[in-house]
Amino acid sequence: MIVFDLACDCGYTFEGWFQDRQDFDKQQTAAFLVCPVCDGREVRKILSPIRAQSFRNTGDESSHMKAAESKQSTRVADSLETLQEFVEKNFEDVGTELATESLKIHYGVSKPRNIRGVTTELEEKKLQEEGINLLKVPMPVKCKNAN
């Protein structure tokens, strides 16, 4: 739900609740918006910050919520970066040999170590059948222009 501040030609202002912006546009176009004081249909939206409706109807709260949300997404990005760094530093890059090496380590042919690389879907399935679960980390695509 969103709330718009509405104003009538008579000077009365009130709040209108709508499902979304399209809902408001629809109702305004169809002249469904009627002033509760004078029954006038010249109701228009006052330019004001649109509040996304949460549980309580206070502007303050919604701005707090937004701040909290953006903080949270920064945190997620941070921890993902840390994870990527960790993997880069501590895992040997075996490239396309990941599946083969994983199996070798699994069966004690190769020395146990942390490895990273790429696998095909088929290889991944095979590994899963062998009881080897890969951790997938979305790695950043390095931009050629950076640095």
Positions touching Zn ion (CB under 5 A) are: 8, 10, 12, 35, 37-38, 40
User: What's the maximum distance between 2 C-alpha atoms anywhere in the chain?
Assistant: 86
- Minimum CB separation of residue 55 from Zn ion in Å reads 31
- Minimum CB separation of residue 65 from Zn ion in Å reads 33
By beta-carbon proximity to Zn ion, the closer residue of 1 and 37 is 37
- Minimum CB separation of residue 22 from Zn ion in Å reads 25
By beta-carbon proximity to Zn ion, the closer residue of 35 and 98 is 35
Are the CB atoms for 29 and 45 separated by under 8 Å? no
By beta-carbon proximity to Zn ion, the closer residue of 9 and 88 is 9
Q: What is the DSSP string of 107-129?
A: TTSSPP--EEE---HHHHHHHHH
Q: Say what angle helices 98-106 and 121-129 make with each other, to 10 degrees.
A: 10
86, containing H or E segment: helix 59-90
